[in-house]
Amino acid sequence: MKDPGVLKLMRRYLEAGLREGGVASARSEGRAQGSPLSPLLWNILLDDLDRELERRGHGFCRYAEDGNIYVQSDRTGQRVRQSITVFLEQRLKLKVNAAKSAVARPWEGKFLGYSMTWHKKAKLKIASQSRQRLAEKIRLAFRRGRGQSMQPVMERLNSVLRGWMAYFRLSEVKKVLEELDGWLRRKLRTLLWRQRKRVYRRALNRMKAGIDKDRAWKSATHGRGRWWNGGATHRNHAYPKKWFDRMGLVSLMDTHRRFQSVS
């Protein structure tokens, strides 16, 4: 690397200070987490790897330090994995993380949060690990929202859902989005059930939502738990999807449709 402008920019990133709790301090080593310098440095360092893979005629995809190499058989994959590991460790002096390196079918692995279906004409889908991480963020938002009204909880959820769906807008498999939307609405119905602790208030809210008096009282006094009630038909009737739409809750499925309509 001999470009003085790029070298100067890299130095400024590396010398940038830290700010924790409103207090600034000097940096002695490393780089800021999430800095755009990281993919730049990896692209410079791994340029020789890209050229080597092209020379061998392999199909591959790489972003920063993450990459996939595509071959036609498991046996070829094992051989390529071994030879590329030697290339990285001996030629580029890098340590390969064996725990994160594997030979697998494309639909068994993930890349940048995505995976693909097993069909002959494969489709992009959201990897199961990405779905699990979103579920954990949603659970954290609910824990932080304990004791709060529905609106601030939804606002906290919306900030997570918008960013997540913007990243995964290229997904071609919709089922996971429908399932996540349904699961999230059930959790919100469970929260509403928990907030109405008195039987009278529960029954009154059902009647206001259009449920007849007998059914409202039965649903308020049957004694079942919160999660069961969150998915019960009387809760779906009282708080359908259109109710959450009016409240401003982001729908992953609807957001995905809007992305597809403008692409």
d(CA 177, CA 181): 6
Q: Is the pLDDT of residue 200 over 60?
A: no
Please give the pLDDT value at position 115: 92
Amino acid at 246: R
23-26: which pairs have CB atoms within 8 A and are 24 or more residues apart? none
pLDDT at res. 255: 94
Instruction: Name residue 109's amino acid.
Output: G
129, with CB counted inside 10 A (0-12, 13-18, 19+), is exposed
How would residue 97 be classed by pLDDT, with cut points 50, 70 and 90? confident
Q: What pLDDT shows up at residue 261?
A: 84
Taking the CA atoms of the chain, what radius of gyration do you get in angstroms?
25
Q: In 72-91, which positions are buried (b, 16+ CB within 10 angstroms) versus exposed (e)?
A: eeeeebeebbeebeebbeee
Is it the case that residue 18 has pLDDT exceeding 80?
no
Q: Are strands 66-70 and 114-116 parallel, antiparallel or unpaired?
A: unpaired
Residue-wise pLDDT tens digits, 23-71: 666 666 655 666 777 888 888 889 999 999 999 999 999 998 889 999 9
Q: Residue type at 118?
A: W
The SS3 of residue 161 is helix
- Condensed to tens digits (0 to 9), the pLDDT of residues 203-254 reads 666 666 666 666 655 565 665 566 656 666 766 777 889 989 998 999 999 9
- Other C-beta atoms lying within 10 Å of the C-beta of residue 187: 21
Model pLDDT, residue 205? 64
**Out of 97-101, 199-203, 209-213, which region has the weakest mean confidence (pLDDT)?**
199-203
Task: Report the SS3 class of residue 172.
Answer: coil
Q: What is the dihedral of CA 26, 28, 33, 39, to 10 degrees?
A: 120
pTM: 0.74
191: Cβ–Cβ under 8 A, 6 or more apart, which residues? 142, 145, 150, 153
Q: What is the pLDDT of residue 26?
A: 65
pLDDT for 128? 92
Model pLDDT, residue 234: 63
> Quick one: pLDDT at residue 263?
63
Chain-wide mean pLDDT for the chain? 82
Determine what percent of the chain is predicted with pLDDT higher than 70: 76
Question: In terms of DSSP bridges, do strands 59-63 and 66-70 run parallel, antiparallel, or are they unpaired?
Answer: antiparallel
229: left (phi over 0), alpha (psi -120 to 50) or beta: alpha
CA–CA dist 85, 98 (Å, integer): 9
